[in-house]
Structure 1
Amino acid sequence: MNDPTEEGLWRPLRLLLARMDDDIARLYAGTDIKPTYVMELLRLHFRGPMTIRELAESVKRTHSALSQKVAAMKAAGLVEVAQGPDARSKLVSLTPAATAMVAKLAAEWRATEAASAELEAELPYPLSRVVADMEEALSRRSFHDRIAARLADDPAWQR
């Protein structure tokens, strides 16, 4: 049997996105800002304080993932966490230090979006169109169902 991890149709895409993320991180080198916090910090600035659940839903992440990220942002002095509207929820808001960074974060976001559009314009077909087409195809038949159908005929999966 060959090592199946040697194959990876979309691995180059993951590596490309990681390289681009690394380039964004280089912009923040020497600062206290983590690029992975930018979306949430901007969302809190423009929409105001939110519960962790509301914030998670707004950025399309799990509650668990956002709870961990909020804890890290709190430790970094970027957000404050208070009792939410009910006993089980926590309300997240920006600290003055994070509010002072908002203009810079928004400038980077706009520049990144413009650079992405510039890069996409150099391609023979837009990646955003590929993503939309894939979303449409997956709405007809989920990735799970496509994989499960192949596994149903694989004796190694049935063991």
Structure 2
Amino acid sequence: MTTLQAMSQLAHSVFRVVMPGRWCGRGMLLLPAADGVIDGAPGIGFLLISFWATLDTTHADLCIYTYMNLKRYHLPYLEEVKARRHVCFAEQLRSANRAITKLYTEHLGDCDIGIAQLSLLIRLYYFGEVTMSRLAKNLETDRTTLARNVQLLERSGHVEVVSGEDGRKRLVRLTDLGFASLKKAVPRWLNAQADLDARLGGDQWEALFKGLRVLAQLDPTSSGRDADSPDSESRRDAKRP
């Protein structure tokens, strides 16, 4: 052990005994550099810093090193908006998603599927049999995430994956158990929709729904969803002379 390390340990021990209730360091070793400079800060001596830290109760839950850094960093924009809690759009969407998921989960109750699985099963109800690529495109998700969800539903018996007619494509389809779960969940899902609509009000519901679709279209990979919906072929056939 070097002389500086020994002095540091001694200083921490002394101040933890003398003022244990106001000690911020929590036994953390802060080793001063030989030239009297601590991590870029002007050197005023280790013992002086330790004594000063014990007298400061503003950040009593922080160690000395963290306290020093709090005083050092500065970004103009973050200083301007520090009094405003909600400034990040992505953060607000995550918060909203958590709240909405909780609401739907509460309405689904003892159903054996969640809201994400329900959306997938609804697509399979419409498609009948569908490839993973087309299902991922319609759900506006990536194939890796979809494959993981399909695998879980396959294990639970809600869906099955079969070979296509040519033997090359893999098709996903609903099982009897999947349909039974869908049949039980849909009325509760509708109640969740009605609950949310009542809380928001019709105008806000419509505005938010349209706004969310605009945001979803920011991802170019989701732009073909409407054209790839289960009834798109029948709509195209109806338009033909």
Same topology, TM > 0.5: yes
Alignment partners' CA distance in 1, 2:111 and 2:216: 36
Return the structure number with greater helix share.
1
Contact 1:42 1:105 in 2 (8 A): no
SS at match of 1:23: helix
My pick for the range that moved more, 30-39 or 112-121, is 112-121
Distance 1:133 1:47, change over 3 A: closer
TM-score normalised by structure 2 residue count = 0.47
What letter is aligned with 1:49? E
**What are the ranges of 5 or more consecutive residues in structure 2 without an aligned counterpart?**
1-72, 79-84, 220-241
Q: What residue number does 1:81 align with? A: 161
| Bigger-Rg structure (1/2) | 2
Q: How many residues align?
A: 137
Contact 2:108 2:188 in 1 (8 A): no
Asked whether 1:27 is paired with 2:119, we answer no
SS at match of 2:161: strand
Alignment partners' CA distance in 1, 2:126 and 2:214: 30
Q: What residue number does 1:117 align with? A: 197
Alignment partners' CA distance in 2, 1:124 and 1:7: 20
Alignment partners' CA distance in 2, 1:37 and 1:84: 23
Contact 2:108 2:185 in 1 (8 A): no
5 Å matches for 1:3-82? 9-10=88-89, 11-82=91-162
Asked whether 1:127 is paired with 2:208, we answer yes
TM-score normalised by structure 1 residue count = 0.68
- Percent identity between matched residues is 22
Which of the numbers 177, 199, 218 marks the counterpart of 1:97?
177
Distance 1:75 1:116, change over 3 A: same
Contact 2:86 2:92 in 1 (8 A): no
SS at match of 1:81: strand
Alignment partners' CA distance in 1, 2:131 and 2:106: 31
Structure 1 residue 100: Cα displacement: 1.4
Contact 1:120 1:127 in 2 (8 A): no
Moved over 6 A (4+): 122-125
Alignment partners' CA distance in 1, 2:131 and 2:193: 27
**What are the ranges of 5 or more consecutive residues in structure 1 without an aligned counterpart?**
140-159
